[in-house]
Homo-oligomer: A and B are copies of this chain.
């Protein structure tokens, strides 16, 4: 592989195909800060999508929020959405609620025959995540889980470099993600601190998932065994075990991924894959609206690549939009997302037991 020319067109959309019509019209479900400040603006800028409907538990909030973009035609309550109100006004549904509410909104979208973009993690438990995947499968709708990293150019270029053998056979992965959630959400009643809405934990489920899923994507493999360790001490994390977390993923061929995550540490993220013949590092790796940097070392040379940053959420929406408009099945789909929920459940279990947990 000619690494230099490969990296020159860094932000190319290797997935993009020409389209005739469009845009894909989205119903946005859940009006938290991510939907309001990230998703709706990204879709407004996108090539292939627009927001036409927003859905909130509160009808009043939904109606008020129709002002968030010119394209928005309807503000619906949850009940109206589930009843199929204004279903002709959208083609796909973006579900960005607390984890434990994904299932009900995905199920309705599937029943209505809409495309599904479900935020990560897919649901709060393995059982419910299975139902999310089954709902999409039964209705045969196009489905995707919102892993921004899989459409991030730095990650896609890293994957291509790995697949071209530039670092040899991958041997190990290091990944980390941390932020100070109590500064972002000081209210200890916030849903991420609550098991019934978040799932088994606040950290691995929300941000430990980034090194986990990105390692899976880069290695094109799923973990076969996990180890874990978790601890909470701050009041906000009283209901969840993992203010601090460390976990080891064992991939096929004994490729180990050493991961850490914390919802109460300095904002930091990195991902590194070391192989037999080189290594590729992305740092910072995972946060949106942050300059990313890719460093490739192979043989005796180092390529430290700064590049034009993309709006990750726009990239993700355009990716899905392009797939839907060209009639292609998008990935990562809900079957892929289910593996993460299963893996995270195994990590929490391993941390509880203090022993290795194997995955099927």
Expressed in whole angstroms, the Cα–Cα distance for A172 and B180 within the complex equals 14
A158: Cβ under 8 A from any B Cβ: no
Residues in B neighbouring A190, C-beta threshold 8 A? none
Give the contact stretch, choosing among A36-44, A80-88, A226-234.
Answer: A226-234
Residues in B neighbouring A354, C-beta threshold 8 A? 355-356
A52: Cβ under 8 A from any B Cβ: no
Given contacts A233-B254, A258-B246, A258-B260, contact A171 B167 (CB under 8 A): no
Residues in B neighbouring A248, C-beta threshold 8 A? 227, 229, 246, 248, 258
A77: Cβ under 8 A from any B Cβ: no
Identical chains in the assembly: 2
Contact present for A171 and B229 (CB under 8 Å): no
Contact present for B229 and A265 (CB under 8 Å): no
Q: Determine how close the nearest CB of chain B comes to the CB of A265; give it in whole angstroms.
A: 4
Nearest residue (CB) in B for A180 is: B276
Expressed in whole angstroms, the Cα–Cα distance for A167 and B262 within the complex equals 15
A297: Cβ under 8 A from any B Cβ: yes
Give the contact stretch, choosing among A95-103, A266-274, A305-313.
Answer: A266-274
Q: A171-B262, A258-B259 are in contact. List 7 more A-B contacts (CB 8 A).
A: A167-B266, A168-B266, A171-B244, A171-B265, A172-B244, A227-B227, A229-B356
- Residues of A bordering B, CB below 8 Å: 167-168, 171-172, 174, 176, 178, 180, 225, 227, 229, 231, 233, 244-246, 248, 250, 254-260, 262, 264-266, 268, 270, 272, 274-279, 297, 353-356
